[in-house]
Amino acid sequence: MLPFCYHTTTALFRRKNRILFCTMKSTQAQSATQEKPPAQIKVSSHPNARAIDKISKDYEAVIGIETHVQLSTLTKAFCSCPYNYGSPPNTSVCPVCMGLPGALPVLNSKVIECALKVGLALNCKLSLNSKFDRKQYFYPDLPKGYQISQFDIPIATGGYIDLDLPLEYGGGHRKFGITRVHMEEDAGKLLHSESGSYSQVDLNRAGVPLLEIVSEPDMRTGIEAAEYAAELQRLVRYLGVSNGNMQEGSLRCDVNVSIRPIGQLEFGTKVEIKNLNSFSSMGRAIDFEIARQALLLSQGRGDEIVQETRLWEEGGQKTVTMRKKEGLADYRYFPEPDLPGVSLTQEFVDSIHTSLPELPEMKRRRYEQMGLSMQDVLFLANDINVADFFDATIAKGSDVKLAANWIMGDIAAYMKNEKLTINEIKITPQELSELIGSIKSGTISGKIGKEILFELLAKGGTVKGIIKEKDLVQIVDPAEIEKMVDTVLSENPKQLEQYRGGKTKLQGFFAGQIMKMSKGKANPGILNKILLEKLNAKS
């Protein structure tokens, strides 16, 4: 009989020595905030702030990240079970992903395609002949007692990723090395009781395909690490291989941090940090850990920095020990006997390469060449759907900077207020281009343009249709505008006398009255020219 089964109510009783490492109460307190850039951490919040500021100048951090990306395939890696986040426990399982005796895995070919896309996008060298291996370890949510992974011949090695730091964090270009990318399957999930006396096992996630991306230890600050992780998220979303949502566990990062005196080549003792549920928490956790280790070294307590796994406590804004690592784990890898080797032809790899979309780094450089500022570039290229909307708008002939301003300004504000994505708003790139063109040509004013924009965002329709329906064509006839100016001046003699007496700020009052009379349709340039002539005319 199996030591445990896989019904929803299944629990592991009195096995605390096997489940304590997973009792992380703080994981529910922090939600992912991918949309926000990682916050720069000021060590001044630490009790020994001044001391740490001084100490940190003497030490250099060395940071590497292991990232697990859950692939958006229709079925799991080695069976035909689907995986849908949030499904009731143990409703997407079969003998293969449950690890029942005699069940044999069959590789999902889409996993190979996804791995190749990511490997190529990360500028890696690909292995045309690779294999799967068994990685032996024993956790309650790993029913087979081993994980199918890749060991000595991963599918991709020796790459790099380029990114641009946001201006608020100093700006600049960064290039970080990628050690390897390999394919593997996910384990299940433990659901802990409130009392902590038992845990239930949900195997829906068991067998879900993952890519593990291992960076070189090239990062030096929490900001760099958080931006690296954000760029990976951006990359997998551009490629369409994963939704990259941290709150769903589709993108999980384990960070390794050590410090060393500046100038020393040898690495310090590495500490792993888990429970990083957002990019901002990643930055804060790393900066805290750097400060913690630097303080210990400066006090002559370097032996207290041990190789261990620590958790980030969002509530306390600190890392705490999760488990010690007394030595390297012996996973007893050996080639997976139930799966054949993975052999790829160069023609197949080339076909995958030609299918790749324009990647974030390429898009940022193209936008820069258009004359956009780095702030514009980073905003537009951050989300592939926003970038596609922008590209479609300028493809219709719109001015590049004007299109960027409308998308980053009123459209972005509307999406934020209404909690919508750019794919959910009613306006199309064609109509935004038409709106920009109508303002630029003088058909409508900028003020009326905004009114039309908000109607298009909420209800849809066409610019020409709204202009015609509401008679919004801008008044550009100087004679007609002059009549309005004369009327407003004659109706406000007191204000006119005050203006000519030196209160020139009243020009705005007169302009507002004229615009009100014209229902916002008077051409501002013509209006102000005629108004100034009339105001400054000798009485």
Strand, coil or helix: 161:
strand
Q: In which band, very low, low, confident or very high, does the pLDDT at 493 lie, cut at 50, 70 and 90?
A: confident
Question: Which pLDDT value is given to residue 417?
Answer: 95
Residues of the chain with pLDDT > 70, as a percent, come to 89
d(CA 414, CA 418): 6
- For 478-536, the fitting CATH number among 3.40.50.9100, 3.90.550.10, 1.10.10.410, 3.40.50.720 is 1.10.10.410
Question: Which pLDDT value is given to residue 330?
Answer: 85
Question: Which pLDDT value is given to residue 60?
Answer: 92
Under 8 Å between Cβ of 309 and 322: yes
Average pLDDT over residues 507-534: 86
d(CA 135, CA 475): 75
Average pLDDT over residues 452-465: 92
Strand, coil or helix: 26:
helix
d(CA 1, CA 408): 61
Please state the pTM of the whole predicted model.
0.81
Question: Which pLDDT value is given to residue 16?
Answer: 34
Q: Is the pLDDT of residue 4 over 70?
A: no
Flag the least confident range among 50-64, 102-116, 384-398.
Answer: 50-64
Question: Which pLDDT value is given to residue 3?
Answer: 35
Nearest alpha-carbon partner for 485 in 521, 442, 528:
528
Q: Is the pLDDT of residue 444 over 90?
A: no
Average pLDDT over residues 330-358: 96
Question: Which pLDDT value is given to residue 54?
Answer: 60
Residues in contact with 328: Cβ distance below 8 Å, sequence separation at least 6, in sequence order? none
**pLDDT tens figures, 190-199:** 998 888 899 9
DSSP string, 64-118: EEEEEEE---SS-SSSS----TTPPTTSS--TTTTT-TT------HHHHHHHHHH
Mean pLDDT of the chain: 87
Question: Which pLDDT value is given to residue 7?
Answer: 37
Average pLDDT over residues 263-288: 92
Q: Is the pLDDT of residue 5 over 50?
A: no
d(CA 321, CA 311): 6
Average pLDDT over residues 20-32: 31
Phi, psi of 69 (to 5 degrees): -110, 120
d(CA 519, CA 525): 16
Q: Is the pLDDT of residue 363 over 80?
A: yes
- Which of residues 36 and 312 earns the better pLDDT score? 312
Average pLDDT over residues 454-466: 92
Q: Is the pLDDT of residue 312 over 70?
A: yes
Q: In which band, very low, low, confident or very high, does the pLDDT at 49 lie, cut at 50, 70 and 90?
A: low
Q: Where are the domains of the chain?
A: 55-335, 358-470, 478-536
Q: Is the pLDDT of residue 22 over 70?
A: no
Average pLDDT over residues 308-331: 86
Question: Which pLDDT value is given to residue 481?
Answer: 86
**pLDDT tens figures, 323-340:** 887 666 789 999 999 999
Question: Which pLDDT value is given to residue 36?
Answer: 36
Question: Which pLDDT value is given to residue 394?
Answer: 96
Q: Is the pLDDT of residue 30 over 80?
A: no
Question: Which pLDDT value is given to residue 251?
Answer: 96
Question: Which pLDDT value is given to residue 34?
Answer: 35
Q: Is the pLDDT of residue 165 over 80?
A: yes
